[in-house]
């Protein structure tokens, strides 16, 4: 089957470019979907007015969710993802500029699979993204498309 | 048993008992002495009466004895019957022959009596002998025996009378004493009741009633004055406490507001300042990769410098965040093995550092009390410093030792590095002050400020001593705790 796609939710255009660049460097074949804020992410996952959610969900391998997002922040998006039976199995990695301990604790409390502080050193950041892509797309197994709904 | 001791007696009993005891004792003593005196008096009276009777009898019977006129003697003796007290009378002539007797059933009793010379009060009787004389010649002897029934009856009556009067007086005294003790004890009981109520209810508005202007009255007034003073002071204390509480509350809310602001500030610092840095660094890197052919060596060097500066600024931001975090984080105190923590840190450093012969000696089992995470930050900084500044030696030597005092435990971290100039010691623990240039040794200048903050928050002390080229020695003193 096709490679799982990676969903990146980040409001900062610089970070979007850099993250996509690092992910492409790490896993050339995985499609990367970039969304700008929490509301868009929820629409994408649960179906807004114009987007069908099923196909989106089926191909998704991992979500990289920035903590600080306009309107609906990353932690709230995470809460929604964990509270819906459609998505509660989905690996969600919180990525943040800060290393504020309270934020870290809250992210795990809400069910994040991982929490990454974006390194300022770009080489280090690329290492982080490479490790992430390798682990969540190759090493780790997620349920086959459709099985969650069927079971 | 103890309850019957004097000091457990109620005040009323204490006041009543001695009065009644004394009065009873007095009355008993008075009665007893009256009885004794009356007894004596009556005896004397009896005695003199008998003597008078005996004298009269002797005079009357002198002639009859001389002439041995039995009939006459009998008549004279018989006249004694009228006198109740006389039990027996015997008349002897000069030669000791019983001439006449009264109440005597036989002669022997009179004869026996003559043989017994004991006179006066003997047993239940009074005996008296009266010689009968006529013109200075003794012509006979009269014995009189009186029984003491009358005396006894008299004394008995007297005793009953005395006791009756005594009991009556005592009853009156009990009544009076009871009334009197109420006069004394009532104010005291009221006072003690008021004191008890005040102490139980902590109600300082209670006042004791004041009776009269004697010592008890003054005691009551003084007591009330004292309670008034306490009430006033209490009110003042409560007022000032309320004031203090309001101030504390106000300050606390101000402080927590400031803390919240600080938290928000450091959150945005950590979030928003890092992001542009990351962009600068990331796009610098991208530029380097994508446009490699367009850049000459100078251009590449400029790019490297831009990227290095961003990374350094990232380090500064991180350092500042740690510094602010150790300043505001709540502390939790635990007893922990510092030696193990230091060993841990040292092992991490050994893994990371360039291969340089390194000897680290850490005294085992140094126990301290403090917040584990904060102390780890502090000692990580200290060990990293020791590591960093001894990187240019042939062999790196680091030694950690501890000395325990009564209140403090002092941990010394000694290295053999470049050391520092003691002239600048006052800049050592101040943020952003560095004693070495970045080209000599990297660093942000925040590490020791953070260490200082952590140690201060533990109510400890930190000091450093060094000579240039001779290594540095940092001493951390931490309170021993309870």
Q: Nearest CA of chain A to the CA of B237: how many Å?
A: 42
ipTM tops the 0.90 cut: no
The kind and range of the H/E element at B187 are: helix B149-201
- Side-chain-facing half-sphere of A135: CA atoms under 13 Å: 12
Ranges of each domain in chain B: 2-171, 205-328, 333-479
User: Under an 8 A CB cutoff, do B314 and A100 touch?
Assistant: no
Cβ within 8 Å, pair B311-A18: no
Instruction: Tell me the C-alpha distance between A102 and B190, whole Å.
Output: 65
Interval B160-185 mean pLDDT:
86
Q: Provide, as residue numbers in chain B, all residues whose Cβ is less than 8 Å from the Cβ of A121.
A: 281, 311, 314
State the best of B259, B263, B266, B278 to mutate against chain A, taking most chain A CBs within 10 Å: B278
Where are the strands (E) in chain A, listed by range? 5-9, 32-35, 60-66, 92-96, 114-117
Quick one: pLDDT at residue B244?
Answer: 93
Picking from A132, A138, A136, A125, the residue whose alpha carbon sits closest to that of residue A19 is A125
Distance CA B227, CA B181 (A): 26
Nearest-neighbour CA in chain A from B331: distance (Å) = 15
Rounded to the nearest angstrom, the minimum Cα separation between A23 and chain B is 13
pLDDT in the model for residue A141? 76
Which residues in chain B have Cβ-Cβ distances shorter than 8 Å to A118? Answer: 274, 278
Cα B156 to Cα B146: distance, rounded to the nearest angstrom: 18
Please determine, for residue B147, whether its predicted confidence score (pLDDT) is greater than 50. yes
| Domain spans in chain A, listed from the N-terminal domain onward | 5-138
Nearest CA in chain B to A67: B271
Query: Which backbone phi and psi does A70 adopt, to 5 degrees?
Result: -70, 160
Report pLDDT digits (tens) over B457-467.
999 999 998 88
Q: What is the pLDDT of residue A1?
A: 44
DSSP state of A3: P
What average pLDDT is seen over chain B? Answer: 84
Residue B116 has a pLDDT of 61
List strands edge to edge, sheet with B137-147: B98-102, B86-93, B137-147, B125-134, B120-122
Question: Which tops the pLDDT comparison, B66 or B297?
Answer: B297
Q: Which residues pair with B472 in a beta bridge?
A: B466
Looking at beta carbons, which residues of chain B come within 8 Å of A97?
A: 270-272, 274-275, 278
- Model confidence at A149, pLDDT cuts 50, 70, 90, reads low
Q: Is A94 helix (H, G, I), strand (E, B) or coil?
A: strand
Mark out chain A residues that contact chain B at CB-CB < 8 A: 12, 14-15, 17-18, 21, 68, 96-101, 103, 118-123, 125
- Tell how far CA B232 is from the center of its chain: 26
Task: Determine, for residues A122 and B277 on separate chains, whether the beta-carbon distance falls below 8 Å.
Answer: no
CB contact under 8 A, A18 and B278: yes
Architecture field, domain A5-138: 3-Layer(aba) Sandwich (3.40)
Model pLDDT, residue A93: 94
Comparing CB atoms, the residue among A14, A100, A119 nearest residue B267 is A100
Q: Which residues of A137-150 are buried (b: 16+ CB within 10 A; e: fewer)?
A: beeeebeebeebee
CA nearest A122 in B: which residue? B282
Q: How many Cβ atoms from other residues are within 10 Å of residue B124's Cβ?
A: 11
Measure in Å the smallest separation between the Cα of B403 and chain A Cα atoms: 35
Chain A residues whose beta carbon lies within 8 Å of the beta carbon of residue B282: 14, 18, 21, 122, 125
Residue B237 has pLDDT above 50, yes or no: yes
Cβ distance of A122 and B282 shorter than 8 Å: yes
The arithmetic mean of pLDDT across residues A111-126, rounded, is 89
Q: What is the pLDDT of residues B14-52, one digit of tens each?
A: 878 888 888 889 888 988 898 899 888 888 888 888 888
Mean pLDDT, residues B166-187 taken together: 85
Q: Which of B275, B277, B322, B330 to mutate to test the interface with A (most CBs of A within 10 A)?
A: B275
Q: What is the arithmetic mean of pLDDT over B191-204? A: 87
Among the listed residues B349, B417, B407, B356, the one whose alpha carbon sits nearest the alpha carbon of residue B383: B349
Q: Which residues of B touch A119 (CB under 8 A)?
A: 278
| Chain A contact set for B275 (CB, 8 A) | 12, 14-15, 97
Please give the pLDDT value at position B240.
93
Answer whether B282 sits within 8 Å of A12, measured CB to CB.
no
Q: What percent of chain B has pLDDT over 70?
A: 96
Using CA atoms, how far apart are residues B86 and B150, in angstroms rounded to an integer?
A: 10
In chain B, the residue whose alpha carbon lies closest to the alpha carbon of A16 is B279
Token look-up 């004493």 returns B177
> What per-residue string of b and e applies to B214-239 under the rule 16 or more CB within 10 Å gives b?
eebeeebeebbeebeeebeeeeeeee
Q: What are phi and psi of A59, to 5 degrees?
A: -95, -5
Predicted confidence at residue B353, as pLDDT, reads 67
pLDDT range class, residue B216, cuts 50, 70, 90: confident
CA distance A83 to chain B (A): 27
Average pLDDT over chain A, rounded to whole?
Answer: 84
Assess contact for B422 and B466: CB atoms under 8 A: yes
The domain B333-479 is classified under which CATH number: 3.90.226.10, 3.20.20.140, 3.40.228.10, 3.30.565.10?
3.30.565.10
Q: DSSP of B284-328, one letter per residue?
A: HHHHHHHTGGG--HHHHHHHHHHHHHHHHHHHHHHHHHHHHHHHH
**How far is it, in rounded angstroms, from Cα B36 to Cα B44?**
12
CB contact under 8 A, A14 and B279: yes
Taking CA atoms, A143 is separated from A90, A140, A150, in Å, by: 9, 10, 11
In chain A, whose CA is at the least distance from the CA of B272?
A97
pLDDT of residue A148: 61
Task: Output b/e per residue, B267-281; b: 16+ Cβ within 10 A.
Answer: beebbebbbebbbbb
Mean pLDDT confidence for A34-62: 76
Give dist(CA A19, CA A122) in Å, integer. 10
Tokens representing A142 are 């997620």
Fold of the domain built from segment(s) B2-171: Beta-Lactamase (3.30.450)
Structure tokens at B95: 């030669």
Question: Which residues in chain B are closer than 8 Å to A12, comparing Cβ atoms?
Answer: 275, 279
């Amino acid at each position: 089957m096709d490679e799982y796609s990676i969903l990146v939710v980040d409001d900062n255009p610089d970070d979007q470019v850099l993250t996509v660049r690092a992910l492409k460097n790490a896993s050339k074949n995985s499609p990367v979907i970039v969304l700008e804020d929490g509301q868009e992410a929820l629409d994408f996952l649960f179906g807004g007015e114009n987007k069908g959610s099923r196909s989106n969900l089926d191909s998704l391998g991992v979500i990289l969710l920035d903590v600080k997002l306009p309107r609906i922040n990353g932690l709230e998006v995470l809460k929604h993802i964990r509270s819906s039976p459609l998505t509660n199995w989905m690996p969600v990695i919180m990525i943040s500029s800060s290393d504020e301990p309270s934020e870290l604790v809250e992210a795990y409390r809400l069910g994040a699979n991982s929490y990454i502080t974006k390194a300022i050193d770009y080489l280090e950041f690329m290492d982080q993204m490479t490790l992430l892509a390798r682990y969540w797309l190759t090493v780790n197994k997620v349920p086959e498309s459709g099985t969650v709904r069927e079971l | 048993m103890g309850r019957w001791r004097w000091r457990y007696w109620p005040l009323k009993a204490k006041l009543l008992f001695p009065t009644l005891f004394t009065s009873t004792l007095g009355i008993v003593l008075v009665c007893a002495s009256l009885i004794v005196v009356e007894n004596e008096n009556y005896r004397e009276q009896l005695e003199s009466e008998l003597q008078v009777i005996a004298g009269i009898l002797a005079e009357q019977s002198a002639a009859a004895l001389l002439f041995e006129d039995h009939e006459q003697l009998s008549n004279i003796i018989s006249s004694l019957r009228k006198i109740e007290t006389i039990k027996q009378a015997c008349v002897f002539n000069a030669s000791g022959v019983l001439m006449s007797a009264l109440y005597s059933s036989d002669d022997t009793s009179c004869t026996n009596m003559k043989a017994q010379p004991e006179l006066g009060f003997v047993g239940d009787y009074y005996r008296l002998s009266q010689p009968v004389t006529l013109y200075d010649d003794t012509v006979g002897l009269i014995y009189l025996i009186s029984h003491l029934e009358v005396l006894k009856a008299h004394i008995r009556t007297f005793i009953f009378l005395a006791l009756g009067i005594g009991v009556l007086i005592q009853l009156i005294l009990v009544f009076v004493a009871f009334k009197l003790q109420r006069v004394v004890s009532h104010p005291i009981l009221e006072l003690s009741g008021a004191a008890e109520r005040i102490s139980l209810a902590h109600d300082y508005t209670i006042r004791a009633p004041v009776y009269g202007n004697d010592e008890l009255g003054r005691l009551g007034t003084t007591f009330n004055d004292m309670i008034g003073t306490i009430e006033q002071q209490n009110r003042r204390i409560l007022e000032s406490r309320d004031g203090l509480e309001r101030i504390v509350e106000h300050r606390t809310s101000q402080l927590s507001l400031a803390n919240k602001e600080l938290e928000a500030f450091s959150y945005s610092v950590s979030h928003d300042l890092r992001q542009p840095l990351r962009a600068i660094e990331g796009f610098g890197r991208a530029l380097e990769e994508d446009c490699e052919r367009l850049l000459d060596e100078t251009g590449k060097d400029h790019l490297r410098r831009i990227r290095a500066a961003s990374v350094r600024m990232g380090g500064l931001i991180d350092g500042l965040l740690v510094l602010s975090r150790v300043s505001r984080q709540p502390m939790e105190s635990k007893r922990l093995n510092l030696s193990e923590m230091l060993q841990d840190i040292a092992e991490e450093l050994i893994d990371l550092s360039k291969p340089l012969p390194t000897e680290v000696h850490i005294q085992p089992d140094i126990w301290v009390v403090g917040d584990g995470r904060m102390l780890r930050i502090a000692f990580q900084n200290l060990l990293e410093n020791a590591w960093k500044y001894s990187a240019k030696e042939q062999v790196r030597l680091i030694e950690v030792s501890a000395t325990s005092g009564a209140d403090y435990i002092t941990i010394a971290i000694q290295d053999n590095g470049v050391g520092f100039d003691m002239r600048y010691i006052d800049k050592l623990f101040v943020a952003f002050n560095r004693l070495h240039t970045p080209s000599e040794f990297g660093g942000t200048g925040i590490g020791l400020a953070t260490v200082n903050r952590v140690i201060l928050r533990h109510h400890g002390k930190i000091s450093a001593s060094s000579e240039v080229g001779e290594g540095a020695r940092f001493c951390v003193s931490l309170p021993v705790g309870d």
